[in-house]
Amino acid sequence: MRKTISKNKTAIKLLSIFFALLIATGCGNVLDEVEDLSNYPGEGTFDDIQTVQAYLARCYNLTLGGWPVNDGNKADESGSIIPVDWITTSNGAMNYWPYSSIRTINILIHELPEGAVPEDDKPAILAQAKFLRAYHYFKMVVYHGGVPIIREPQSLEDDLMVSRNSTKECFDFIIEDLDYAIANLPNKYTGSDFGRIDKAAALSLKGRVLLYKASPQFNSSNPYGNAYWQEAYTANKTAIDFLNANGYGLLEDYTSIFETEGHKENILSVVYKDPVKSNGRGENSVRPLSETKNATGGDQPIWALAEAYPMLDGKMPGDPTSKYTYDVQTFWKDRDPRFAATLVWNGELYELSGKGGRRQYTMTNIASSVDAFGYIIQGESQYRTGLFCRKGINESLTPELVGTNDYDWVEIRYTEVLFNYAESANETGKSDVAIQALKDIRERAGIEPGANGMFGLKSGMTKEEVREALLQEKYIEMVFEGKRFWDLRRHRMLNRIDGMHKYGIMTMKVADRTYDQVTPDDVAKANKYEWLPEDFTYSVEELITTGQRQMSMPDKYYFFPIQLDNIDKDPNLEQNKDWGGTFNPEL
């Protein structure tokens, strides 16, 4: 006889209502959250396809989120300084322990096989649920190493005193779930089903998982020569070949990746649709404060990021072999087109709120005071850097409507899979594959090929040089997409940001007049957007000048601790070895 978790028939009715509302609002393709009813699922929940789909939608919403705003603070993308003892065993920072969400997913996996929904519908639903469970477990393993594997929906009567599984056992479990998903999902969901997990998404996530498994993070004694790299290469080649055969690829226009939906680079998206679900970008906190409301300071680019973009010929700023001259006073000129697609600088066109011709200013007494980066406004501050972010911003929205941005969040895009394929190819002796991927990405970006067709890349690179080139290219290609910190950590390169000071670009003068010499005519010209970037003088200035000024990223951050409150609840949990315990989170 099928086990019943609960007998609350009211819950079934409410779930049906929520699912019906999704359809009635014309947003049946939006995997939106349904009510978290304390007593559901009730008896019969898994006998009705509509309530099953609504329950599955809840599982999606418990797993996939929107843009990772301010994730770049942990690395060299945006402005905050990570302090000493940012993470402790008791403060909850960087703790990922989603067992309540996993229980919700496990209920579906456990109950659906005996439910009365059509048998033909069950495999794809179970496959999506297992993908979501794998996603949670993968994230936990990346944070903490091996964790307890819970396959059944535990109740209060069950023995909850579980021990941690090894990291290898967890990776095997994750791949088991993903292999089931791959075998039981359609190649590609489109139309009203767009946003659902399909085979393309499952293959792509498997490649991501196995790239991490092979990485130095989990193999410190043999970081780039271990056998897991071949496994990662095989999975990512399978993924990229499948994507190529099914109409995926690099989108021609970089900006359109984030501002249009359903395109060929989009493998898995969290679908947003105003007013049902909006502001996944967190645009209200990313815009300049003068054109938003209630929040600011999100994804503020720092000078290190601006310097990381190559020139238009693919050579780095200041490289004597570049055909373009670089000068800090005209730092925006002749750069990789992704520079202007992502960053906004003083005097640059940024037509927010539908204001044609609007230019963004950052100089004290020229800019709106809430946008300025200058000593007398607020002192040097990580919340102003002299740069703003354009990526994923709906410039047409007025401040009153800024929270209605409904651009989809692209959780997995083709370029990431291409990077994963290139990286694993390079580590398995196929550097030519990696170099071609780099060239393809740079060509799409609009970088000039050069006489040798290398798009500014060095000819004859070693495996180590290709590894660095991939890491650098991904830094700028996927900036503010939640990749950079995790890539540095995965490669055991946190030393590159440990002790780092962060800088911004301060506008010091306009037409040779300092902020305290600005005239009413100067302000009037600013109000009419007449000042151009080259009319100003710039200086690179440190953001933080009081208190802790440098980043703290000790080696023990390669694995985060299990929180003491979790150990107090379950004494069988071992703490990680760098945090006072004995558990080895590596493979």
In angstroms, rounded to a whole number, what is the distance separating the alpha carbons of residues 63 and 51?
19
Query: 161 or 117: which carries more pLDDT confidence?
Result: 117
Q: Is residue 240 a contact partner of residue 417, using CB atoms and an 8 Å limit?
A: yes
Radius of gyration of the chain (CA): 25
Q: Is residue 232 a contact partner of residue 213, using CB atoms and an 8 Å limit?
A: yes
Secondary structure (DSSP) of 289-338 = GGGSSS---TT-B-HHHHHHS-BTTSPPTT-TT-SS---GGGTTTTB-HH
Show the tokens assigned to 249.
């690829």
Does residue 38 lie in a domain region?
yes
Q: Taking 70 as the threshold, does the pLDDT of residue 11 lie above it? A: no
What pTM value is reported for the model? 0.93
Does residue 226 lie in a domain region?
yes
Range of the domain at 100: 9-69+90-270
Q: What is the pLDDT of residues 198-210, one digit of tens each?
A: 999 999 999 999 9
Does residue 342 lie in a domain region?
no
Q: What percent of the chain has pLDDT over 70?
A: 91
Helix (H) or strand (E) holding 527: helix 520-527
Q: Taking 80 as the threshold, does the pLDDT of residue 537 lie above it? A: yes
Does residue 177 lie in a domain region?
yes
What's the CATH number where 47 sits?
1.25.40.390
In Å, the largest CA–CA distance within the chain is 84
As a whole number, mean pLDDT of residues 238-252 equals 98
Picking from 5-14, 22-31, 538-547, 563-572, which range would have the lowest pLDDT averaged per residue?
Answer: 22-31
Q: Taking 90 as the threshold, does the pLDDT of residue 420 lie above it? A: yes
- Domain tally, the chain: 1
Does residue 472 lie in a domain region?
no
Can you give the pLDDT at residue 34?
35
Does residue 19 lie in a domain region?
yes
Does residue 471 lie in a domain region?
no
Torsion-angle region of 175 (φ positive above 0: left; ψ -120 to 50: alpha; else: beta): alpha
Task: List all residues 6 or more positions away from 2 whose beta carbon is below 8 Å from its beta carbon.
Answer: 111, 114, 115
- Backbone torsions φ then ψ of 164, nearest 5 degrees: -75, 135
In angstroms, rounded to a whole number, what is the distance separating the alpha carbons of residues 204 and 420?
9
Q: What is the pLDDT of residues 50-96, one digit of tens each?
A: 999 999 999 999 999 999 999 999 999 998 999 999 999 999 999 99
Query: 378 or 164: which carries more pLDDT confidence?
Result: 164
